[in-house]
Structures are given as C-alpha cells and as structure tokens.
C-alpha cells in the first residue's frame, strides 16, 4: 500500500480526532467535577454553530469577532443551564440518573427550539481560509490545517488553565473532595456553573471550526456527542489526557481503518475499541477506579 495514502489517512484522522478530543474534553471536565454526563453537550455545539452562522454570515462580522461573541454567549448558556437544571438536582435522591434524564430533555428542547427559530434548512458558513495545501502528494484544505492548530491551542490552553490558574486549582480541589474544598473557602456552586460554561466553550470552539465543513442544522450535535461519549469512556471518565489521546487515536483508527474496510465499518471500529477497552480496563485507558 502507498505510504502517502496511509500518511494522508493518519493526518485526516488526527484532524477529526482533535475535534473528538475537543468535544470529549468538555464532557470529561463535567464528569471530573460533578460525576455526571451532559447529554445536551451536542446542543452546545449546535448552538455554537448557529451563532457563528448568524454573526459571521448574516451579520457579516469577521470570523474572529463572530467566534468570540459566540463563545461568550454559549458560555452564558452553559452557566444558565447548570443553574436552572443541574443545580436543583445535585445532592438530591436519584442524582445518579436525574441529570442524565434532565440533560436529555434539555437536548430535545434545544433541538426543537432551534428548529422553530432557524428552520430545517441546512446553513453553510464559508471557510475562514480558502485554498488547499499540497505536500508530498497529500492534499489538504488550509481550513483543516487551521482546525488542527485551533484544536491544539484550545486543548493546551485548557490544560494550562486547569493546571496553573487559581481557578484550575480550585476546580481540581472541588473534583477531589468537594467538602474539603468548601471548608477551604472555595465556592463550589460557582465552580460547577463555570465548569458547565467552560464545557460549553469547548463545544462551541469545535462548532466554530467544523461548521464550514459540516453545515449547521438543529441535529448536528447528535453524532458528534455519540463519538465524544465513546472517547471519554475509552480515555477514562474525568481524564483530560485520556480524552485527548483517545480522541486522536479514535480519529486515526477510523481513517486508517477505511483503507482496509468499507465505510460502513467506521462506527463498528469505534465501538469495538470501546468494548475491548471496557473489557480490559473497565475504568478506561487513563481513568481511575474511584467511581
């Protein structure tokens, strides 16, 4: 088999995988701090896409400004969602299941709201960078290269923020022991709200970069959420490093797998890996057994 083709598939996989990682990081962050999953995470992604479309295409703002406003807005949406939905369920009986059902309900509500507001037609955002790069027989649009760069920058910034900022330390403390964090003066309720907001920002960053390729529509978050869920389980629930490695790894395996199997096996590959990982390491590649 031609090495160039394999290399091109690896590059394709890394780019798609970086987006899986970006989406999965948001889910992982919420699991790490609140020990729950957000089934409306795909709808943060969807709302991010619509806001980008409205600001960039309809209002004519340049992509950087439109992206910044979209991120700010969806951050607020994430915070509000935590305060209005999750906040009232925390520490109540049934916490294991109640946020899953509640966020699933929010997901359906947001899909139908966007259908009502913006209609069923697909919306397209032009590429932020036109043209294609060709090197060593590999063809790639500049926009995809930009996706990779932005994804790496966003994930690295998140990692540095969590590791070195006061907020990051407070967040990690809340994640490790909520009561001890509260005794030490950390406002954990505020932490939870901001965590939801940051998670929404990560989904919006993915939407901003992917919408020019994937089109904007009310259901765009569904399939990506499914992949992100698989990624965080493979990587280990709550592990940021796990989400990144599993995301990129899954993207590469899907890309290279197509060379050997028909496309209909793409999801089979993803979920077979999930089953194998769960079989060998039930807590995921980088997960802890505490939960």
Residues near another protein (CB under 8 A) are 1-2, 5, 8-9, 12-13, 15-16, 111-112, 115, 120-122, 124, 132, 134, 139-141, 144, 213-215, 217-219, 223, 254-255, 258-259, 262-264, 266-267
- Minimal distance, residue 193 CB to another protein, in Å: 31
Helices assigned H by DSSP within 82-130 = 98-118
Of residues 55 and 269, the one with the C-beta less far from another protein: 269
Of residues 98 and 141, the one with the C-beta less far from another protein: 141
Q: Which of 192, 209, 150, 249 is nearest to 38 (CA)?
A: 192
- Minimal distance, residue 31 CB to another protein, in Å: 26
Of residues 220 and 285, the one with the C-beta less far from another protein: 220
- Minimal distance, residue 13 CB to another protein, in Å: 8
- Minimal distance, residue 232 CB to another protein, in Å: 20
Cα(189)–Cα(48) distance, rounded to whole angstroms?
A: 25
Strand pairing partners for 139?
134
Of residues 100 and 140, the one with the C-beta less far from another protein: 140
**Where in 68-211 does DSSP place strands (E)?**
132-135, 138-141
Cα(16)–Cα(255) distance, rounded to whole angstroms?
A: 9
Q: Which of 289, 270, 275, 257 is nearest to 6 (CA)?
A: 257
What are the structure tokens assigned to 45, written together? Answer: 């992604």
What are the structure tokens assigned to 149, written together? Answer: 């760069």
123: DSSP letter: B
Cα(199)–Cα(78) distance, rounded to whole angstroms?
A: 8
217: DSSP letter: -
Q: How far is C-alpha 182 from the geometric centre of its chain's CA atoms?
A: 28
Of residues 2 and 179, the one with the C-beta less far from another protein: 2
- Minimal distance, residue 265 CB to another protein, in Å: 10
Q: Which of 64, 23, 71 is nearest to 47 (CA)?
A: 71
- Minimal distance, residue 115 CB to another protein, in Å: 6
- Minimal distance, residue 111 CB to another protein, in Å: 7
């Amino acid at each position: 088999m031609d090495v160039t083709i394999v290399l091109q598939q690896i590059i394709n996989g890394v780019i798609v995988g970086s987006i899986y990682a970006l989406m999965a990081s948001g889910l992982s962050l919420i699991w790490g701090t609140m020990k729950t999953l957000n089934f409306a995470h795909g709808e943060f992604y969807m709302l991010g896409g619509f806001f980008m479309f409205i600001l960039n295409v309809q209002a004519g703002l340049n992509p950087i400004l439109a992206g910044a406003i979209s991120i700010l807005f969806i951050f607020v949406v994430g915070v509000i969602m935590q305060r209005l939905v999750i906040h009232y369920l925390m520490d109540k009986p049934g916490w294991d299941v109640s946020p899953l059902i509640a966020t699933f309900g929010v997901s359906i509500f947001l899909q139908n709201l966007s259908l009502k507001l913006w209609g069923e037609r697909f919306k397209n955002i032009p590429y932020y960078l036109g043209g294609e790069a060709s090197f060593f027989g590999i063809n790639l649009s500049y926009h995809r290269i930009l996706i990779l760069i932005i994804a790496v920058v966003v994930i690295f910034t998140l990692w540095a923020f969590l590791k070195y900022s006061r907020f990051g330390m407070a967040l990690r403390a809340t994640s490790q022991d909520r009561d001890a964090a509260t005794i030490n003066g950390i406002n954990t309720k505020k932490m939870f709200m901001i965590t939801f907001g940051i998670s929404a920002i990560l989904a919006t960053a993915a939407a901003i970069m992917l919408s020019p390729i994937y089109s904007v529509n009310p259901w765009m978050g569904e399939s990506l959420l499914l992949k992100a869920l698989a990624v965080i389980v493979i990587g280990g629930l709550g592990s940021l490093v796990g989400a990144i490695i599993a995301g990129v790894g899954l993207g590469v395996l899907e890309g290279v797998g197509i060379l050997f199997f028909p496309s209909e096996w793409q999801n089979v590959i993803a979920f077979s890996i999930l089953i194998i990982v769960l079989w060998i390491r039930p807590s995921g590649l980088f997960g802890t057994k505490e939960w």
